[in-house]
């Protein structure tokens, strides 16, 4: 393994449309690969980013409204920190209804697992809204 600097920063701003999800995931996966994250942790982060961005696209921006998603990544020696900013309708994931995990799958409503998955896959999740900007910050600690 090659020596890495103590901190790496990356940023991507892209239109908040479903067609850009593959671009966002390629960006995220490329950074994770470059930084030497294992496949399991990389999959977890990519899944959380996918869920967060899909939620922003589907719920943060109204159908007639368009906007951007700004993804900022900071990597330190022990953690991968990804912040996803959007400028649409604010949504605090802590206010999301808890998913029904006890009923038979056929009896559950479709959807509603995204926020739950994000919390399960990432080590820390926080949300902040200020000056018309929603920021979801997710942290994944490096497993060595």
- Kindly report the CATH number assigned to the domain that includes residue 12: 3.30.565.10
In a domain, 67, yes or no: yes
pLDDT value at position 110? 54
Tell me the average pLDDT of the chain. 82
Q: Is the pLDDT of residue 19 over 90?
A: yes
Task: Write the pLDDT tens digit of every residue in 113-125.
Answer: 668 889 889 999 9
In a domain, 2, yes or no: no
Lookup: tokens for 123: 């080590």
| Residue 109: DSSP 8-state | P
State how many domains the chain has. 1
In a domain, 41, yes or no: yes
Residue with tokens 């399960």: 120
Rounded to an integer, what distance in angstroms lies between the CA atom of residue 73 and that of residue 38? 17
Structural domain of residue 78, as residue ranges?
7-141
Task: Write the pLDDT tens digit of every residue in 34-66.
Answer: 888 889 999 999 999 999 999 888 878 876 677
In a domain, 63, yes or no: yes
The answer to whether the predicted template modeling score (pTM) of the entire model surpasses 0.85 is no
In a domain, 1, yes or no: no
């Amino acid at each position: 393994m090659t020596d890495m600097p103590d901190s790496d920063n990356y940023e991507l701003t892209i239109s908040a449309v479903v067609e850009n999800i593959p671009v966002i995931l390629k960006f995220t996966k490329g950074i994770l690969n470059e930084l030497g994250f294992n496949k399991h942790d990389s999959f977890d982060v990519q899944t959380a980013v996918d869920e967060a961005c899909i939620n922003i696209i589907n719920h943060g921006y109204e159908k007639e409204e368009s906007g951007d998603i700004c993804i900022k990544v900071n990597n330190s020696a022990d953690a991968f920190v990804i912040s996803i900013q959007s400028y649409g309708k604010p949504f605090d994931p802590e206010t999301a209804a808890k998913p029904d995990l006890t009923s038979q799958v056929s009896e559950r409503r479709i959807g509603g697992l995204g926020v739950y998955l994000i919390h399960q896959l990432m080590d820390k999740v926080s949300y902040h809204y200020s000056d018309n900007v929603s920021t979801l910050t997710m942290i994944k600690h490096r497993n060595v």
